[in-house]
Structure 1
């Protein structure tokens, strides 16, 4: 009797209203199925009353046992449901908190990623702009090299033309003088400078190509980061209230070709580093080009000055030689005139000796007809013979002197011709050096043009 009361109290505490006999002690939920007892024997009261009827009824304790089992099952089910609800609520709260934390962490990671992307995007953009500006400066230097190479054609043509013009000098002025030596030096210097500028121009073209290739690489990296920044910025703005979110189950994986954060940073770092290296190489090359153009232009102008000075000295020598030749020609012409006068005087003197000779010879001839003893070698005869001999000797001396004077005149004429020819040669040389060469050299480019600024 005590046990049923305790069970009744327990059921009452559980909130179950009992109107029947208290249930027996609780049975496990896995109790064996109820046994059915059929009493139909003739010795039983039931059997006597139910003769002829089918009897298959439960016993009272079995009825109570069945009810108790149902009560227990309902109680256990309610208790289990309550526990499940509590666990479900807790799990829901935990999962919501975890999902919120995961989303916040992902959002924070996206924000950090956006900062990293912005940082590298700014670095790449800076490098692109600086490399582009540096490339433009290098292109300017390349254009200076091209202009300098084009400008060198004029000095080369001038020096070549000077040498060709001076080949038209006449002997004996066709000499390998200081001017020719300096002109050959100038030609050699121009050829060496042309080769140097061509090599430097090739280096500049290669560096420009490398700069543009590296700029293109940085631009591609920058473009990828701009696109990625746009994607990640859109992802960072997504929230649970966004209307354009949906399920994408196939994306929950790692791509095999995906880079790691380390390789991602290294890729952009290497691009920036190579851009810096190429920019530095370009700056150094620009400095080299500037120095080369400055030095070569100065060397050319210095050699041009040396050639001009050699021309000036040579022209001065030619002018001096020409003046001396003209002076001696003037003296020679005067001597020729004097010599012609002397020859004329000698001829006249010889002619003047003819009458005295005729007189003396006629006297001797006439006196040779003196008769007999009168044909005497008297003083007159001696004087006449002596006179003829003196006149003959005088005429011979005059004729000899005339011959000498005529030979001297011929020599003077030859000298005059030589002097005139030499003066003509000097005049031609002066014309070539002054009017042809030096006048042409007045068109020599300035240092400003030789340095490629025009």
Structure 2
């Protein structure tokens, strides 16, 4: 049996049928002789199939179906061979089964270990992308917060422009209440109109930038949402694979799952899986870089707009200062001229009184001369002579009358001059009142209101 076992393990031959120890003789007769004797006894042929032996007992007919010893021995040895063959095949199958079991056990353990290793590698890949996604999510959250802070600065800066606009328009409305000649389109008004235009453009720019910031914040949050969903899927995937990696043959929750080994047509490939997260990160980085560029643009816009507004404010203030100084100079000049005009009016009034007195003083000499002439007209006869005295008296009357006429003309001129001086005084007083009103509007109304102009830090949105 030891020899047979070693041969079976080779799986290379079929065992031969063992030789029967029977030699074909029974006693002193051969099988052929014994068969012939039995045939004669039973009247059968050598096969023992038909007929009956003459003179044989009746019971001999029932024995005609018996096999011959050779068949009995062959049948026995056939069974021996079948048993030997079956046992040999069974032994071979036992060895093959044991070897196959060892091989399948080793294969199963190796495959399971390889799957566990693949799961660990997969978990490492998931953890890598999860880390990258989490890093990008944190950077996106930080960037979005910074952009929201910039948006708030924009809103604060836009609100801060309302006061300068109100100041500029109030200045224009106040200066519209200047009267007469002082209602002039001067450099201050030009500067105020330019200030209104600059503030209006700044407001439009800040509004457009606010809208752009809103759009970018939505894009940032959309990108962050995609990253978060991808990260959440990675976390679930990691937990599932971790659970799978921790399963073993002794786990209590393992069971058959029919159809679980089929591939789903909707499943992604490792390349498309990695590309999906890569694309999400790339898109998020693109939005984050766009957000950073927008933040830098907002910084530049706020700095430029605040500088433009403050520069124009300083220009308007300088123009106001120059204009107020100019009106003060004009008012002072008018006051000086008014003072001189008033003094001249007083002198002219005195001059008029003087002329009136001088004209009055000419009445007596005129009366004297005319009386003399009248008396001399009463001279008798030839005594009524045109003597030198007569000529001189006539000349005197003419000279006095001429003096009176000249004095009256001068008096009329003086009175006209006095009227002109009075009109000039009234005009100067009116102009002084206009200048005072204009100075009050520019200095006390406009300039005091302009002291409420927002500071630079407020214009850039920090307050």
- Give TM-score scaled by structure 1 length: 0.89
Q: CA deviation at 1:147?
A: 1.0
The CA distance in 2 between the partners of 1:179 and 1:243, in whole Å, is 91
1:373-406, CA deviations, whole angstroms, 9 ceiling, x for partnerless residues? 4444455544443332222122111111101111
1:175 is paired with a residue whose SS is: coil
- For residue 81 of structure 1, give the secondary structure of its aligned residue in structure 2: helix
Q: Find the aligned partners of 1:298 and 1:131 in 2 and give their Cα distance.
A: 31
After superposition, give the CA deviation of every residue in 1:282-317 in whole Å (9 maximum; x if it has no partner): 111101100110111011111111111111111111
Give the stretch that moved more between structures: 169-178 or 58-67.
Answer: 169-178
1:41 aligns with 2:52: yes
Query: After superposition, what is the alpha-carbon deviation per residue over 1:53-72, rounded to whole angstroms, capped at 9, x for unaligned?
Result: 42221111111111101111
Query: What residue number does 2:103 align with?
Result: 94
5 Å-filtered alignment, 1:97-246, equals: 97-246=106-255
Shift of the 203–59 alpha-carbon distance from structure 1 to 2, 3 Å rule, reads same
3-state SS of the aligned residue for 2:181? Answer: coil
The residue that corresponds to 1:3 in the other structure is none
* Mapped partners of 1:346, 1:197: distance in 2: 77
| Structure 2 unmatched ranges of 5 or more | 5-19, 25-45
Residue 54 of structure 1 is matched in structure 2 by 62
Cα distance in 2 for residues equivalent to 1:156 and 1:225: 54
Question: Which residue of 2 is the match for residue 410 of structure 1?
Answer: 419
- 1:277-316 equivalent positions in 2, closer than 5 A: 277-316=286-325
Q: Tell me, yes or no, if the aligned pair for 1:121 and 1:225 is still in contact at 8 Å.
A: yes
Q: Relative to 1, partners in 2 of residues 1:23 and 1:317: Cα closer, same or farther, differing over 3 Å?
A: farther
Distance (Å, rounded) in 2 between the aligned partners of 1:54 and 1:292? 129
Give the distance between the partners of 2:48 and 2:420, measured in 1 at CA.
184
Residue of structure 2 in register with 1:424 after alignment = 433
Aligned-pair distance for 1:118? 0.8
Q: Provide closer, same or farther for how the CA distance between residues 263 and 23 of structure 1 changes in structure 2, counting only shifts above 3 A.
A: farther
- The RMSD of aligned alpha carbons is 2.0
3-state SS in 2 of match to 1:172? helix
The 1-side partners of 2:372 and 2:436 are apart by 64
Distance 1:54 1:299 in 2: 139
Q: Which of 74, 79, 90 is the equivalent residue of 1:81?
A: 90
Other-structure match for 2:13: none
Alpha-carbon distance change, 359 to 197 in structure 1, aligned in 2, over 3 angstroms: same
The answer to whether the 8 Å contact 1:40/1:50 transfers is no
CA distance in 2, matches of 1:441, 1:352: 67
1:232 partner SS: helix
Question: Alpha-carbon deviation of 1:350?
Answer: 1.1
- Contact persistence 1:24–1:65 (CA under 8 A): no
Structure 1 gap ranges (5+): 1-9, 11-20, 26-34
Q: Matched residue pairs, number?
A: 423
Q: Is the 8 A contact 1:353 1:395 kept in 2?
A: yes
Distance 2:98 2:374 in 1: 187
Q: Please report how far the alpha carbon of residue 188 of structure 1 lies from its aligned counterpart in structure 2 after TM superposition.
A: 1.6
Q: Quote the offset at 1:352 in angstroms.
A: 1.8
